[in-house]
Amino acid sequence: MHYDVFNGDADGIIALLQLRLAEPKSAQLVTGVKRDIQLLDNIKVGVGDSLTVLDISMSRNQQGLRQALESGAQVFYADHHQSGDIPTFPTLEAHINLDANICTALIIDQLLQGRFHYWAIVAAYGDNLLTRADELAHLAGLSLEQAQQLKELGTLVNYNGYGESLDDLHYHPAKLFQQLLAYDDPFAVIAAQDSPYHSLKAAYQQDMTSAQSLRPIYQDANLNVYKLPNSAASRRISGVYGNWLANQTPHQAHLVLTENSQNGYTVSLRAPLDNKQGAGELCSQFFSGGGREAAGGINNLEVEMLPSLIHKVSDYYQR
């Protein structure tokens, strides 16, 4: 049995998309909402089995990874999040790059020598690596209009990954991957009237319009904090809304708080775009938190811990 294990956001989906366009393979798909990252805990493997693992933190999957390796499975692992200690097993092929300006799909793009480069650019846009994605689009000879189209597609695929549960999403990430796999060119997705692009675009515009009317609940020179109500629309928009805020004021950090069913907050943190570091480290100081240099999150922050989070983030990015 082969398992394709991937984050349900744009980066995870498109990283796998490139690999399966290059090398089609029958696989059990293992994924979930964007914040469902301990995916290896859900898999029992043995000798002869293999796994491709994409865009989920190795540090948060150490136990599942070691169990798979010790059971005799072959593992290909590519990611850009916190890794912890990388196990030394002959059956592990690890491609880990923690640079703040790279994503998993760009790691795969390098391994495939740019075979599906336009898709990698879509993923970079979706992961909010806008400057890097713009550079890649320019180097690829794309027009500004074409770059904007890839940016919108990446944003929409990423938007679909956010939710407290799969019921919040417009498409199950595995289903979205399977539908996108029909297109080796992202421009074909945009052109096809029956593709997921069009339904996601309409839904995104509705959710984003509501979020953009909000005012910050806290603001200082280093940080803006916004709070979304407990609703499916809020859970869907929280991540891409955080990316949008970061691009509006790139010299400040942004916290997006979404009220959740646990009477706490689901947190998205975006580091200032001109100082992309520390977000994952800051979130890791709180239970259920983690991430990477430019972006982090906390699955459930108790309300009484909010002042501490605000203080830590504002102090960290103090100029």
Residues 290-318, mean pLDDT to the nearest whole number: 96
Burial of 5 by CB count in 10 Å (0-12 exposed, 13-18 middle, 19+ buried)? buried
pLDDT digits (tens, 9 = 90+) for 130-160: 999 999 999 999 999 999 999 999 999 999 9
The answer on pLDDT for 127 being more than 80 is yes
| Cα separation, 100 vs 275, whole angstroms | 10
Would you call 256 helix, strand, or coil by DSSP? Answer: strand
The answer on pLDDT for 314 being more than 90 is yes
Task: Name the amino acid, one letter, at 92.
Answer: L
| Cα separation, 59 vs 65, whole angstroms | 10
The answer on pLDDT for 293 being more than 80 is yes
Residues 261-290, mean pLDDT to the nearest whole number: 95
How much is the pLDDT for 319?
72
Pairing of strands 265-270, 253-259: antiparallel
Which residues are CB-contacts of 188 (< 8 A; sequence separation ≥ 6)? Answer: none
Fold of 2-200: inorganic pyrophosphatase (n-terminal core) (3.90.1640)
Cβ atoms of 237 and 159 closer than 8 Å? yes
pLDDT digits (tens, 9 = 90+) for 217-274: 999 999 999 999 999 999 999 999 999 999 999 999 999 999 999 999 999 999 999 9
CATH number of 218-316: 3.10.310.40
The answer on pLDDT for 4 being more than 80 is yes
Residue whose token pair is 């990477």: 292
pLDDT digits (tens, 9 = 90+) for 82-126: 899 999 999 999 999 999 999 999 999 999 999 999 999 999 999
pTM equals 0.88
- pLDDT range class, residue 68, cuts 50, 70, 90: very high
